[in-house]
Chain A
Amino acid sequence: MRVILDILLLLPALLYQSALAAHFTYRGVGVDLLAVLLASIAINQGWLYGAVGGFAAGLILDCTFGHIGLYALQYMALGMFVGLVNERFRLDAIVLPALLTLGACAAREIVPAVYLYFARATVSWGYALLRVLLCAALDAALFVPVHLLLRRLHRWDVVRASLFPFHGRKW
């Protein structure tokens, strides 16, 4: 059931990221809702869910924007990395997962810059690094409420109570 819930959350995040997120950026700095959600799923559900979710969502973005592999690689690696680190070190509090998300999102943001460098585009690395860190900081800040919400939703009884309010009640 949690998997269905995750898919239901990933779909609007994917739509937002492909159709609306560009309108909510300032000088290229904005939040990546999809990355944040994938990091939270990877921590809650395990690295395999993060990797598979990241691969599927990234592939859809790749097909939309015409560069096969770029987003699938980034989001799959992000989901896998966050899940594996969490599994290894058992990060229970909210601060450490948020810091982990910050690192993963920064690493994810670097990938397009490296690609542009190899595509012979000019990249000012100091400025690029500043932007990467700002984006990652925003992602980490958004991670806290998203993760708390997802953790709460993953407790099945919360979802069940809202979907079936009269279930189990004696009349």
Chain B
Amino acid sequence: MRWKAGAGGHKIALIVCGAVLCLLTALFGLSVTGIFKIPFLESAVSFVVTPVQGFVTNAYNAVRSGLEERATIAQLNEEIARLTEENRRLQAEMSSMEELERENERLLGLLGVTEVNPETEYVAASVVAKEAGGWFSVFTVNKGARDGVEKDDPVLSDEGLIGRVMEVTDSTSVVLTLIDSRSAVAGLVERTRDNGICHGSLYVYENDEMLRMNYLPEGSELNTGDRVITSGLDGVYPKGLFIGTVRSISRESSGDGRYVVLSPAVDFAHIEEVLIMTGGQAAEE
């Protein structure tokens, strides 16, 4: 069944395939810059492929959950004891937090801010496909434009910020995570109020770091464990979303100046469900 044709046919097929390769290179270049998109093709493929991918992913998750459940029953008992203790501590903290909240409301009232994010809405979505190559950290979720998702909407989990929506079709969205090396977020160290830019560095460096914070001001005194949140200065993410904690502080300078390595708040290897913030919160900020 090997393809057979005369020398002429062989040459023509080679030329056609070469031309297609050149065309693909050009298409890719244009799609990267955002000039060229084929939304109808992406929508059509998503319509067919996403349910099957969703089924396979759910089946895998069910099997993995089952195995993990069996392995962790003993751990759960320890966890219950620990959580009971933590619950007592949190209840004590909560009473002081309520006092702080009331104070905050009073101060906001003084500033004339009645509602911080009046249009905040969340869309819950499940992960149906994940990019496998080590170069990108991108995944596809089962909610799209018809659910109100738009490009650049922030994506969260209960642990913190995951990333933003990179592409939207009618029924699916592609999410670019914080740790992808194409990703950048304006960050703020909660304790010192130092501003910087958090860059994804997944598998870029040898020391398995995932997130770096660059462009920190000279003389900033950070400690390991300091929390980093979004500053809202990038116009994409609203202020106050938890990015991660400082893992190590570099004594050297990279090309972008002094930097720190962050431990992301989110476990990117095990994301199953996400929340997408819709309604243009960043603009509101």
Contact = CB atoms under 8 A, between A and B. Distances in A.
Contact of A80 (B17, B27, B41, B49): B17
Nearest to B33: A119
A29 B1 CA distance: 35
A77 interface: yes
Contact of B204 (A21, A29, A121): A121
A64 B140 contact: yes
A124 B204 CA distance: 6
A16 B53 CA distance: 9
A60 interface: yes
B208 interface: yes
B21 interface: yes
Interface residues of A, number: 54
A119 B136 CA distance: 12
B131 interface: yes
Nearest to B183: A121
A93 interface: no
Contacts of A112: 133, 135-136
Contacts of B50: 64
Interface string A73-95: 10011001000000000000000
A19 B174 contact: no
A48 B20 CA distance: 12
Contacts of A76: 17, 20-21, 24
B94 interface: no
B45 interface: yes
A113 B135 contact: yes
B42 A15 contact: no
Contacts of B123: none
Interface residues of B, number: 58
B120 interface: no
Interface in B202-229: 202-206, 208
Q: Is the interface of B mostly helix, strand, loop or mixed?
A: mixed
Contact of B131 (A3, A65, A119, A122): A65
B48 to A, nearest CB: 9
B13 interface: yes
Contacts of B190: none
B188 interface: no
Contacts of B202: 28
A137 to B, nearest CB: 14
Residue from the set A59, A68, A112, A128 with the largest chain B CB neighbour count within 10 Å: A68
Contacts of B60: 19-20, 23
A68 B56 contact: no
A69 B29 CA distance: 8
Contacts of A116: 135, 181-182
Q: Which of the listed residues A17, A45, A63, A109 has the most CB atoms from chain B within 10 Å of its own CB? A: A63
B172 to A, nearest CB: 8
Interface in B34-75: 36-38, 41-42, 44-46, 49-50, 52-53, 56-57, 60, 64
Given A18-B53, A46-B3, A76-B24, A68 B36 contact: yes
B138 A66 contact: yes
A116 B199 CA distance: 13
A123 interface: yes
Contacts of A47: 3
B31 interface: yes
B32 A19 contact: no
Contacts of B42: 63, 66, 68
Interface of B: 1-3, 13, 17, 20-21, 24-29, 31-32, 36-38, 41-42, 44-46, 49-50, 52-53, 56-57, 60, 64, 128-136, 138-140, 166-167, 174, 181-182, 199-206, 208, 255
12 contacts: A22-B131, A23-B64, A25-B132, A46-B3, A51-B17, A63-B41, A67-B31, A69-B25, A73-B24, A109-B133, A123-B204, A124-B206
By Cβ-Cβ distance, the 4 closest A-B pairs, closest first, are: A28-B134, A69-B28, A66-B167, A21-B132
